């Protein structure tokens, strides 16, 4: 299974800048050992699709989705709408949305379920805050978030889920999580997955996110149990993100 690296632009880049980013990134030389995706804002998905042309790299990802197919849900975007852009992945439960949009574990579970049902791979984010880690509750918090988030997904679906461990205290702070802590948390996540999915858990990718940069990406990619990365700030420049992708593979 290839390692997976996802660029999460967050609330940056409308259609004009998104199109320019994709056109620039298509000139980057990417390792064949990687799967690469870009999570763009809703308003930029059409520009990303158009700028890709016939190219399949990077894959298209969304940053969120609602759980209903259609209806009176002003401002919401459904999985079937995302499919029209060729969306392959969708982030759910990111700490930004938990913090600023009040998303609950129940909402995240319904989003993951609806995405999987439509054939879009949910990228389910879990992670503890600095206060929770200081109290010694990191494992407890992440296990609880994960159990809730995967409670509605199917174990026999043809559409896999991806888990992203993103310690909140490492996101955008320039203070990345140590590989030792990341490995410990990934092992705990894998144990939860094995209890629910049995042997099928071996095919679920568990990726890391939080101040990932070209200078440290290889450390994570070569740590046992880490299957890829969810990259924020370091993905905003297409050349820098291309450098990160190349740095993710041992020479």
**CATH code (residue 224):** 3.20.20.70
Query: Smallest Cα–Cα separation from 159: which of 193, 119, 111?
Result: 119
Per the structure, the count of domains in the chain is: 1
Question: Tell me: the pLDDT tens digits for 104-143?
Answer: 999 999 999 999 999 999 999 999 999 999 999 999 999 9
Query: Smallest Cα–Cα separation from 80: which of 92, 68, 93, 94?
Result: 68
Is 94 noted as a catalytic residue in this protein? yes
pLDDT attached to residue 174: 85
Q: What domain range includes position 31?
A: 3-247
Catalytic residue among 88, 103, 128, 166: 166
The CA distance from 235 to 205, in Å, is: 20
Confidence of residue 158 (pLDDT cuts 50, 70, 90): very high
Could you tell me which residues are beta bridge partners of residue 40? 62
Catalytic residue among 88, 94, 103, 128: 94
* pTM of this structure: 0.97
Judge whether residue 156 has pLDDT over 90. no
Q: How many CA atoms within 13 Å lie on the side-chain side of 228?
A: 22
Q: What is the mean pLDDT of residues 163-176?
A: 93
pLDDT attached to residue 143: 98
Q: What is the mean pLDDT of residues 199-206?
A: 94
């Amino acid at each position: 299974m290839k390692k997976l690296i996802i660029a999460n632009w967050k609330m940056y880049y409308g259609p004009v800048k998104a199109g320019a980013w994709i056109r620039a990134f298509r000139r980057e030389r990417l390792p064949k050992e990687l799967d690469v995706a870009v999570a763009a804002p809703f308003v930029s998905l059409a520009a990303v699709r158009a700028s890709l042309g016939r190219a399949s790299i990077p894959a298209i990802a969304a940053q969120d989705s609602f759980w209903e197919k259609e209806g009176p849900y002003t401002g919401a975007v459904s999985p079937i709408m995302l499919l029209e852009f060729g969306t392959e992945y969708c982030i759910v439960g990111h700490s930004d949305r938990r913090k600023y949009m009040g998303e609950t574990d129940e909402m995240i579970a319904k989003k993951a379920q609806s995405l999987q049902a439509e054939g879009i791979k949910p990228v389910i984010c879990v992670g503890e805050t600095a206060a929770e880690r200081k109290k010694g509750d990191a494992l407890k918090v992440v296990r609880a978030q994960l159990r809730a988030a995967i409670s509605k997904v199917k174990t026999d679906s043809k559409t896999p889920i991806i888990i992203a461990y993103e310690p909140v205290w490492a996101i955008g702070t320039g203070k990345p999580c140590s590989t030792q802590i990341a490995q410990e948390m990934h092992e705990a996540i894998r144990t939860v997955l094995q209890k629910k999915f049995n042997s099928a858990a071996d095919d679920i990718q568990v990726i890391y996110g939080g101040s990932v940069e070209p200078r440290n990406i290889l450390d994570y990619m070569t740590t046992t149990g880490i299957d890829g990365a969810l990259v924020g700030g370091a993905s905003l420049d297409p050349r820098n993100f291309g450098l990160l992708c190349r740095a993710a593979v041992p020479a």
